Chain A
Amino acid sequence: MTDHLLEVRNLSVDFDTVRGPVHAVRDVSWHLDRGECLAILGESGSGKSVSASAIMNLIDCPPGRIVSGEILFEGRDLLRASNEERRRLNGKRIAMIFQDPLSHLNPVYTVGAQIAEIMTAHGTAKAQARARTLELMNRVGIPEADDKIDAYPHQFSGGQRQRLMIAMALAMKPDILIADEPTTALDVTVQAQILALLEELQAETGMGLLLITHDLGVVAEIADRVVVMNGGRIVETGDAEQVYHNPTHPYTQKLIGAVPGTGEMATPLTATKPLLEVRNFGKDFGGFAALDQASFELFAGETVAIVGESGSGKSTLAKCLLRLIEPTTGEALYDGRDLVTMGDRDLYRMRRDIQMVFQDPTQSLNPRMTVGQIIGEAFAIHPDILAKDKRPARIRELLERVGLEADHIHRHPHQFSGGQRQRIAIARALALEPKILVCDEAVSALDVSIQAQVIALLEEIQNDLGLSYLFIAHDLPLVRDFAHRVIVMKDGRIVEQGPVRQIFDAPHEEYTRNLLASSLHPDPKVQAERRAARQEVTA
């Protein structure tokens, strides 16, 4: 017998699907000890969450099926325990928090009731549970816990909800906390706070922390050891620092190589006449200023990144620019003419010059149309671009241009992977031969390695066609490698703008500095230094 707190041995899980069984994980083994943090790192479809679900008895059987393996908790095999025995462990000895706390909290019960429930479910008296709930809410940093205990999940912010999930998970002082992508949906500054809270609590209780993530930065920040997964198998395992600096498996090397934020920064172009000039843009939503006095310029062939956290107004800015919503104030001069006051006819013509790529290609492509119809719609709307008989050939050409095959023309979007879908969306935008491409979080939904490929494609297209990009993102390292100039936004206002070097190396504003400090570096050494620096500041 081993003396590990938790050990997974040779676990294999299958999922039955339309096209036969899929091996979700194959022969996976790892262990977790008291007081340490183990990260399982992998991209989507790598099977990184499956072993955690197996531990918590959360795999739906069917379609899931545990083919072989053991899960030893304090030496006992959980897979042989009865459902009732496992229920007693869940929440009490092993607790779990999830990505997207909003959907993981029951919307119709108060948060206090939900936190208390984990205690009453394991035999704590009601009054005692409520007292402890208050204590926990205070501990995880919910202000005015006395009042908020009877509030509902939708009345909290994203970060607070994750704090509440943590409070819930820690209520029974579990030996193990499993955190499945706990910070993925959160802003960088909030992410840093949540990770710090997790670290603190771990030190306090000595629990084992199992962290499931796709983000090397999160691993660098918090993990002691890391297990790298790809295609349902463990490809590499070891000390977090070791793995980052001396990856042995080609997949790990590729993954680390794809992480943005380490490349050369671009030098701004030296153009004189702006292609697009935005002046005093503002948008009011019933008295709330989503966008306030935003002014900037975009030159031909350059990439301007707009960064900011959620609610900073960066997407509103893009929508106003494309007249998806009408700005309340300001003007946007393109080619000497104001986009905002343009009539329908001119607007229709202008559409050819300014195109957009949306965040989620799954949603921005009509699922009922073929790829050919999707790209061809550009020609159907603007028939004067190309004669009818030349269109199929052009669509094939465009598909090849974005790295797909010409034969894909008859397929539907759901037959492609996320990265391929985004390529289709780019091809659709290119069909109109635009001068400006607005990319609204265009790569945020993609895996890191795919992200790098799509960015490379965008750079290539820019070099060939001289396009200008307005690149909206929340991911600072990504912007660092890609943009010529950067605009930082907060609460609807532009806080700071300048060449990428200046923003990253010598930011003028406190907010920008804070944003940069919160963003995570994939190198555990760098992260350790940053952490130390942060502690000095607070101490």
Chain B
Amino acid sequence: MRAFLGKRALASLISLLGLIILVFFLSRLTGDPTSLYLPLDASLEARENFREINGLNDPLLVQFGRYMADLAVLDFGDSIRRSEPALDVVLRAFVWTLQLAAITMTLVTVAAIVIGSLAAFHVGGLFDRIATFFSLIGASAPDFWIAIVAIVTISLNVAFIPTSGTGTVWHWILPVGVLFIRPFGLILQVVRSSMITTLGAAYVKTARAKGVKNKSVIFVHALRNALLPVITVIGDQAAALLNGAVVVETIFGFPGVGKLMIDSILQRDFTVVLAAIFVTAIAIFVMNLIIDILYAVLDPRIRY
């Protein structure tokens, strides 16, 4: 197990490094920050001054070397826009995203597993057909469209549900609700098909021959086996949320990492972009590790 974790950490470190190098150089190619940060009529001197202060005059490689050296001590530099450490800005936004992802994924997981299992028990029944229908629609709907429709229909008619910002519990309803739909549809389908397979497995027959109650047959014998492929999909979906639900955060003015990244890219705030990528990449690495451990916990045949 320990060797496995070490190997995983090393592999992740390498891909993280590749990621950061790629992002750094790509982002420097997007144009000259001075023309974005300073007023259009700023004098050449002012521009030169700005470059000098922020080290933008140095060769790209020097900038990069400096950047990597700082990175080694987790110093991402200050955000040019906000004049405070980029990491602080990112972490503040990340807390919001983390909460949003955690709440959404918990709801999605519970709902999809319960409904998917019950649907699989009576394949072709009314409940199954309704569940399948809605999961398909959910999996097919673009979130920005749902968000817009939700704003039009719900917020304008139900006054206490705000369409933007944070603060009260009510502020969470729309972002969580909209983010819920697609992962729910996808995971429900996987749960259902995986459960259909396991319910046909020989050990389920054994359980029935033993006189085990139906509830135990589904939720004890079949479910734990069915969860393995489900966990993979849950991981993928959670990773997507951790990356920042860009569209939903933008539409609902939610101060998460996704919105921060888009804003920073539009404002060419490189330090923030890099810090954001670094933080989310680490979060996703930790989550993948948890998924791997969950695999081993659920299935005793898996040993790393």
Q: Which A residues are closer than 8 A to B by beta carbons?
A: 56-58, 87-92, 95-96, 98, 100, 103-109, 117-118, 121-122, 152, 154, 165, 168
Contacting pair B300 A121 (CB below 8 A): no
Q: Determine if B210 and A103 form an interchain contact, defined as CB atoms under 8 angstroms apart.
A: no
Known A-B contacts A107-B300, A108-B299; the reply to A121 vs B209 at CB < 8 A is no
B207 contacts the other chain (Cβ, under 8 Å)? yes
17 A–B contacts from the bound complex (CB under 8 Å): A56-B208, A58-B205, A58-B208, A87-B213, A90-B208, A91-B210, A91-B212, A96-B209, A104-B202, A105-B203, A108-B299, A108-B301, A118-B210, A121-B211, A121-B216, A152-B300, A152-B301
Quick one: which of A56, A92, A98, A104 has the most chain B CB within 10 A?
A104
| Chain B residues, Cβ within 8 Å of A90 | 208-211
In the complex, whether B10 has a CB less than 8 A from a CB of chain A is no
On whether A104 and B211 interact (CB within 8 A), knowing A121-B216, A152-B300, A152-B301, the answer reads no
Chain B residues with CB under 8 A of A92:
211
**Chain B 204-252 residues near chain A, CB threshold 8 A:** 205-213, 216, 221, 224-225
A107 touches B225 (CB 8 A): yes
Q: Which residue of B lies closest to A53 (CB)?
A: B205
Asked whether B211 lies within 8 Å of A98 as measured between CB atoms, the reply is: no
Q: Check A100/B202 contact, CB under 8 A, given A92-B211, A121-B216.
A: yes
Q: What does the 1/0 interface line of B133-155 toward A look like (CB < 8 Å)?
A: 00000000000000000000000
The 9 residue pairs across chains A and B that have the minimum distance between CB atoms: A91-B211, A90-B211, A91-B210, A103-B202, A106-B203, A152-B300, A118-B210, A96-B209, A104-B202
Distance to closest chain B CB from A151 (angstroms): 9
Residue B298 CB within 8 A of the other chain: yes
Q: Do B211 and A105 have beta carbons less than 8 Å apart?
A: no
- In-complex Cβ contact of B301 among A91, A100, A107 (8 A): A107
User: Does any Cβ of A come within 8 Å of B36's Cβ?
Assistant: no
Give 20 new A-B contacts, CB below 8 A, not counting A98-B202, A105-B203, A106-B225: A58-B205, A87-B212, A87-B213, A90-B208, A90-B211, A91-B212, A92-B211, A98-B205, A98-B206, A103-B201, A103-B202, A103-B203, A105-B206, A106-B207, A107-B225, A108-B299, A109-B224, A117-B210, A121-B216, A154-B301
Instruction: Decide: A121 and B206 in contact? CB cutoff 8 A.
Output: no
**How many residues of chain B have a CB within 8 Å of chain A?**
20
Q: Is the CB of A118 within 8 A of B205?
A: no
- Across the two chains, which residue of chain A brings its CB closest to B222? A106
In the bound complex, CA of A49 to CA of B207 (Å): 18
Q: Is the Cβ of B210 less than 8 Å from the Cβ of A104?
A: no
Least Cβ distance of B275 to chain A in Å?
41
Q: Which of A100, A107, A154, A168 contacts B210 (CB 8 A)?
A: A168
Give every chain A residue within 8 A of B213 (Cβ-Cβ): 87, 121
CA distance A84 to B216 in the complex (A): 14
Known: A91-B209, A117-B210. Is A107-B216 also a contact (CB below 8 A)?
no
Q: How far is the CA of A78 from the CA of B210 in the complex (A)?
A: 16
Chain B's closest residue to A100 (CB) is B202
Kindly state the separation between the CA atoms of A315 and B109 in the bound complex, as whole angstroms: 46
Q: Once A and B bind, how many residue pairs between them come within 8 Å at the CB atom? A: 71
A106 vs B301: C-alpha distance in the bound complex, in angstroms?
11
A57 with B208: CB separation less than 8 A: yes
B residues near A (Cβ < 8 Å) are 201-203, 205-213, 216, 221, 224-225, 298-301
Report the nearest A residue to B208, measured CB to CB: A58
Q: Are B203 and A121 in contact (CB under 8 A)?
A: no
CB distance from A428 to the nearest CB of B (A): 32
Report the Cα distance A165→B202, complex, angstroms: 13
Shortest C-beta distance, A212 to chain B (Å), equals 13
A-side contacts of B300, CB under 8 Å: 107-108, 152, 154
Whether the pair B205, A104 counts as a contact (CB closer than 8 A) is: yes
A126 to B78, CA, bound (A): 61
B298 surroundings in chain A (CB, below 8 A): 108
Contact: B212 with A117, CB < 8 Å? yes
Which of chain A's residues has its CB closest to B223's CB? A108
Enumerate chain A residues within 8 angstroms of B206, measured Cβ to Cβ.
98, 104-106, 165
Chain B nearest Cβ from A270, distance in angstroms: 51
Residues of A within 8 A of B224 (CB): 108-109
Distance (whole angstroms) from the CB of A483 to the closest CB of chain B:
35
Residues of B within 8 A of A103 (CB): 201-203
- A105–B221 Cα gap in the complex (Å)? 10
Instruction: Let me know if B221 and A106 touch, CB within 8 A.
Output: yes
Are A108 and B211 closer than 8 Å at their CB atoms?
A: no
Residues of chain B with a CB closer than 8 A to A87's CB:
211-213
B141 to chain A, nearest CB (A): 34
| From A56, A88, A105, contact of B209 by CB (8 A) | A56
Among residues of A, the one whose C-beta sits closest to the C-beta of B224 is A108
Answer whether A89 and B209 are a contact pair too, CB < 8 Å, given A103-B203, A152-B301.
no
- Given the complex of chains A and B, what is the CA–CA distance between A56 and B212 in angstroms? 12
* Complex interface: chain A residues within 8 A of B221 (CB): 106
Closest approach, in angstroms, between the C-beta of A185 and any C-beta of chain B? Answer: 12
Q: Please, which residues of chain A bring their CB within 8 A of the CB of B205?
A: 58, 98, 104
CB distance from A54 to the nearest CB of B (A): 13
Question: Nearest Cβ in chain A — how far from B178, in angstroms?
Answer: 35
On chain B, the residues within 8 Å of A104 by CB distance are: 202-203, 205-206
Residue from A92, A103, A108, A165 having most chain B Cβ neighbours under 10 A:
A108
Expressed in whole angstroms, the minimum distance between the Cβ of A382 and any Cβ of chain B is 41
Q: How far is the CA of A117 from the CA of B209 in the complex (A)?
A: 12
Q: Which residues of B are found within 8 Å of A89, using beta-carbon distances?
A: 211
Residue numbers in B under 8 Å from A100 (CB-CB):
202
The reply to whether B210 and A121 contact each other, CB–CB distance below 8 Å, is yes
CB distance from A459 to the nearest CB of B (A): 37
Report A-chain residues with C-beta under 8 Å of the C-beta of B207: 106, 117
Residues on the B chain within 8 Å of A168, using CB: 210
Of chain A, the residue at the smallest CB distance from B216 is A121
CA distance A508 to B201 in the complex (A): 45
Cα distance A154–B300 when bound, in Å?
9
User: What distance in Å separates the Cβ of A235 from its nearest Cβ neighbour in chain B?
Assistant: 28
CB distance from A176 to the nearest CB of B (A): 12
Closest residue to A102 on the B side, CB-wise? B202
What residue of chain B has the Cβ atom nearest to residue A96's Cβ? B209
Task: Compute how far the CA of A467 lies from the CA of B298 in the bound complex, rounded to whole angstroms.
Answer: 53
Q: Which of B224, B225, B300 has the most CB of A within 10 A?
A: B300
Provide the bound-state CA to CA distance between A9 and B245, in Å.
64
**Bound complex: CA A98 to CA B298 (Å):** 25
- State whether A122 touches B211 (Cβ < 8 A): yes
Q: Which residues on B sit within 8 Å (CB–CB) of A96?
A: 209
Quote the shortest CB–CB distance from A111 to chain B (angstroms).
11
Which residue of chain A is the closest to B298 with respect to CB atoms? A108
Q: How far is the CB of A375 from chain B (nearest CB, A)?
A: 35
Q: How far is the CA of A168 from the CA of B211 in the complex (A)?
A: 12
Question: Shortest CB–CB separation between residue A196 and chain B, in angstroms?
Answer: 23
Provided the pairs A106-B221, A108-B300 are in contact, do residues A121 and B202 lie with their beta carbons within 8 angstroms? Answer: no
Best-buried of A106, A122, A152 by chain B (most CB within 10 Å): A106
Q: Determine the distance from Cα of A96 to Cα of B299 in the docked complex, in whole angstroms.
A: 26
Q: Specify which chain B residues have a CB less than 8 angstroms from the CB of A108 in the assembled complex.
A: 224-225, 298-301
CB neighbours (8 Å) of B210 from chain A are 90-91, 95, 117-118, 121, 168
B208 touches A121 (CB 8 A): no
In the assembled complex, which residues on chain A have CB atoms less than 8 Å from the CB atom of B208? 56-58, 90
Nearest-Cβ distance from residue A148 to partner chain B, whole angstroms: 14
B211, A118: Cβ atoms closer than 8 Å: yes
Q: How far is the CB of A48 from chain B (nearest CB, A)?
A: 17
Q: How far is the CB of B218 from chain A (nearest CB, A)?
A: 13
How far is the CB of A100 from the nearest CB of chain B, in Å?
Answer: 7
* Contact, CB under 8 Å: B203 / A58: no
